[in-house]
Amino acid sequence: MKYARLTKEQFEELHQEFINFLATQSITADEWRKLKAEKPEVAEQELDVFSDLIWEGVLSKVKYLEHISPNQLMLFHITEAFIELIAIKIEDGNIDITTEYGYKWLQQNLHDDAVNLYTSTKAIKDDRNKDVFVLIQQGSVITKGELYNYFSELLKE
């Protein structure tokens, strides 16, 4: 398995897609029930293959990720060749940017000495989707890139 097995909830959401996946392998509903009962290890493999297919499709479309913690904001822009990072670290322990107050403070105090901005670019060497998956496993979430683009524009000024 390349990524991670989908959760029970994710499988329920993708019920029709899973049925279609089994159909492409000529596995009927009756055959699936029989497979689960008589050859659970083969059924497990089918679940893993389906999970990887879903992850591959999702990850290939990811362009932006965000990872927000109380004192740090990490914004990623992912292209085919690079992962670009804008990182903002707050050195004031009283500011929590995961709160509305803390985020507003950040917007109003970007040039404060307690705010450190970093940028970085990393070339993707082997497997783009695997790199994206690792970032998601570490707590990043997929976004449309509004925050990345907002801070990217600010850095150009």
Residues in Cβ contact with 1 at an 8 Å cutoff, skipping those fewer than 6 apart: 48, 51, 52
Q: Is the dihedral of CA 69, 130, 25, 42 positive or negative?
A: negative
User: Whole domain around residue 13: which residue ranges?
Assistant: 8-61
What is the spatial distance between Cα 84 and Cα 26, in angstroms, rounded to a whole number? Answer: 43
In terms of domains, do 71 and 148 share one? yes
In terms of domains, do 14 and 35 share one? yes
Q: Buried b / exposed e across 104-119, counting CB within 10 Å, b at 16+?
A: ebbeeeeeeeebeeee
In terms of domains, do 129 and 104 share one? yes
Q: Is 139 left (phi over 0), alpha (psi -120 to 50) or beta?
A: left
pLDDT digits (tens, 9 = 90+) for 4-58: 999 999 999 999 999 999 999 899 999 999 999 999 999 999 999 999 999 999 9
In terms of domains, do 92 and 119 share one? yes
In terms of domains, do 73 and 133 share one? yes
In terms of domains, do 69 and 47 share one? no
Phi and psi for 77 in degrees, rounded to 5?
Answer: -115, 120
pLDDT band at 138 (very low <50, low <70, confident <90, very high): very high
Residues in Cβ contact with 136 at an 8 Å cutoff, skipping those fewer than 6 apart: 65, 142
Residue found under tokens 């709160």 = 99
In terms of domains, do 73 and 49 share one? no
pLDDT digits (tens, 9 = 90+) for 114-132: 999 999 999 998 899 999 9
48 in a domain, yes or no? yes
Q: How many domains does the chain have?
A: 2
> Nearest CA to 132 among 42, 2, 11?
2
In terms of domains, do 27 and 92 share one? no
What is the spatial distance between Cα 100 and Cα 12, in angstroms, rounded to a whole number? Answer: 34
Residue found under tokens 């996946």 = 21
43 in a domain, yes or no? yes
